[in-house]
Structure 1
Amino acid sequence: MQAPAFWYAPPGRPGLMARALTPLGRLYARATAKRLAQGEGARVGVPVICIGNINAGGTGKTPTAIALTMRLIARGVAVHVVSRGHGGRLTGPVRVEERRHSAADVGDEPLLIAAFAPR
């Protein structure tokens, strides 16, 4: 699947389809803001780096997480990666072990990242 071409229209020049979907986008943004405001914040006592964006896939989040993990480890930083594990059948927090789990267990991206993260 590819994103529709109208998603990448030049700024300030949205096409007809993008303009037609604007009200739906605003409703979605409001609902998301409301959902996020209801969640409790937490202080975890360590620095946290979030890697993500609005696009679901193919934008380089996993390679970025791996590269950042490797660089931080090289500097002696204790790194832990938390991933939602989309596509995995296991539930709850799972410490992913590349030799023990499969992509069906935890999702392909957490399994790949586990190969580079500390054991």
Structure 2
Amino acid sequence: MARDSDSSDSSYSRYQPASGRQENFEESKKVMRREKNRLAAQKSRQRQTLKADTLHQESEHLEKENAALRKEIKQLNEELKYFSAVLRNHESLCSVMTSSNEEMVYPNHSFHQTLSNSPARLHL
């Protein structure tokens, strides 16, 4: 092959007109922008997944806490029924009990001062 031919000229293969270089530059920018966008979308999806997982864990924790509180409320209501029954039985048997100013007063009982000095009234 002759040295003058286009195929043997190494500078020819590297030569591109200005418009060709501009197109390559624009294409390169598009590829870079797409890659950057793809990475940003992937990162966004990871954040969404992490947030959903966190919300799910918090929801499960709150459901367990709610169940425990409901169980405690049930237990406290049972205690209230029991102590109300004990109080009713005591009232029916107690000859010392008197009533004044809508407060229950037990003068001969050790908890008399607790009831009479308490700002909150016991309503059962």
The normalised TM-score by structure 2 is 0.23
Bigger strand share: 2
Bigger helix share: 2
Q: Which has the higher contact order (CA 8 A, sep 6+)?
A: 1
The normalised TM-score by structure 1 is 0.24
